Amino acid sequence: MPLLTPLPWSSAGGRDDAAAGRSGHLAPRCSNPECSTGWLHLWRRSVPVFEGGWCCSPACMRARVRTALERENDARRTSPESHRHRVPLGLAMLEQGWISAGDLRRALEAQRAAGAGRLGQWLVRNGSASEAMVTRGLGLQWNCPVLSLDAGDPQLLTAALPRLFVDALGALPLRIAAGRILYLGFEERLDAALALALERMLGLRVECGLLAEAGFRAAQERMLAAAFPPVELIEAASFSALGRVLSQTIERARCADARLVRVHDFFWLRLWHRRPSAGVPNLAEVSDLICAVGAGA
């Protein structure tokens, strides 16, 4: 199943509509399935566009955004938030013979006594394992590769996602391979919900992996200091209020496209001010809106 509907300009769209209509190709109709006007794109405004579909009026845009919001909210129940059982890090490393039972016991005791810190940090602090080995152990635990920062430069990929997600979710976009795979690095645990959201937003396959802690922290700091697309953070009192805000934002921006995805408790709306293509856009081409719905909603 395609993750998003194809962009309208991939076949007939924009200024070519009139010609497309005359030659018998599709002149897109309003993308709101409930629309009763039957207006053809040919006769009406050409923007804004939402998720590849054009809408004949603000009312139709509101209906489409509401449907998208319901879709994202329903997906919460079937989301890939992983609660699968994982082998504890200490046991995974013990099984590999990378640490001894005594090393593990000492680290667990130190962790318990301190009431803080991750097991991997205590193993490193006690001199039982190197940081690289702990990262490899986490890779075994999460069944994912250990990625290297050498071949990537997160600062060049700040337009891939809002700054908030780099900061709060500890995700670093590393590089794009073959124009279609985005490598996404995490420090301690993978975030499948964020990876899926990025796949849908960018039209790229996202491969997740872990990064060694020290390298991750330094690269994250550098990335957070770089420029990101403009972002607005809002909290809406209810889902219907959120729907109104989102459709008003889209109408005001007269955007070439917009997409909505959910990342945990946030709804992320991205606006493209120019015709989008697959992959990471230029900084000036997009802006983001990150929304939460109030607890009482």
Residue with Cβ nearer Zn ion (35 or 234): 35
Residue with Cβ nearer Zn ion (198 or 258): 258
Q: How far is the CB of 58 from Zn ion (least distance, A)?
A: 10
Q: How far is the CB of 61 from Zn ion (least distance, A)?
A: 8
Residue with Cβ nearer Zn ion (30 or 107): 30
The single-letter code of the amino acid at 52 is G
Q: How far is the CB of 246 from Zn ion (least distance, A)?
A: 17
Q: Find the length of the chain.
A: 297
Using CB atoms within 10 Å of the CB of residue 48, give its burial: 0 to 12 exposed, 13 to 18 middle, 19+ buried: buried
Binding site for Zn ion (CB under 5 A): 30, 32, 35, 56, 60
φ, ψ of residue 60 in degrees (nearest 5)? -70, -35
Residue with Cβ nearer Zn ion (18 or 59): 59
Query: Cα-atom radius of gyration of the chain, to the nearest Å?
Result: 23
Q: How far is the CB of 244 from Zn ion (least distance, A)?
A: 17
Residue with Cβ nearer Zn ion (40 or 192): 40
Q: How far is the CB of 263 from Zn ion (least distance, A)?
A: 29
Residue with Cβ nearer Zn ion (68 or 92): 68
Q: How far is the CB of 13 from Zn ion (least distance, A)?
A: 17
